């Protein structure tokens, strides 16, 4: 599987601030880029996903920015809350998001300080 690089490894943000997590990929065949939230001992939960034909997608407090030429995408969490404290994974797949499995980034441990 091709690599997906994620940064930072850990992040501390004050309540109400903006949390930003970045990912970069190598395989230009990837056509589906989701972000997942995972709490300890639980399976990951899909937050938001984007395809390369758009540069930005927003759902509530979560926004994905996508730069196809740079092969980078990022997650922005607006008005971060203590309940957002979790591990976040970016991922990528080819095959339209259904046919192929996901390649995950290494994860970002996010802590929102009250």
Under the criterion CB under 8 A, does residue 34 sit at the interface with another protein? yes
Q: Indicate if the alpha-carbon torsion angle 74, 80, 84, 85 is positive or negative.
A: positive
> Rounded CA gap, 74 and 93, in Å?
16
* Cβ nearer to another protein, comparing 47 with 112: 47
Among 20, 52, 97, 111, binds another protein (CB under 8 A): 97
Q: Which residue has the tokens 């259904």?
A: 98
Among 44, 71, 73, 77, binds another protein (CB under 8 A): 44
Choose one: 16-24, 44-52, 56-64, 78-86; the region binding another protein (CB under 8 A): 44-52
Burial of 65 by CB count in 10 Å (0-12 exposed, 13-18 middle, 19+ buried)? middle
Q: Which of residues 46-85 bind another protein (CB under 8 A)?
A: 46, 49
Choose one: 13-21, 32-40, 59-67, 77-85; the region binding another protein (CB under 8 A): 32-40
3-class secondary structure, 77: strand
Under the criterion CB under 8 A, does residue 15 sit at the interface with another protein? no
- 4 within 8 A of 27, measured Cβ to Cβ: no
């Amino acid at each position: 599987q091709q690599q997906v690089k994620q940064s930072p490894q850990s992040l501390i943000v004050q309540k109400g601030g903006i949390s930003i997590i970045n990912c970069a990929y190598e395989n230009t065949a990837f056509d589906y880029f989701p972000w997942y939230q995972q709490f300890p001992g639980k399976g990951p939960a899909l937050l938001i996903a984007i395809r390369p034909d758009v540069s930005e997608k927003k759902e509530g407090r979560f926004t994905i920015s996508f730069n196809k030429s740079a092969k980078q995408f990022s997650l922005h969490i607006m008005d971060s809350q203590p309940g957002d404290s979790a591990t976040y994974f970016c991922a990528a797949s080819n095959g339209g998001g259904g046919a192929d499995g996901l390649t995950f980034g290494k994860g970002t441990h996010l802590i929102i300080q009250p």
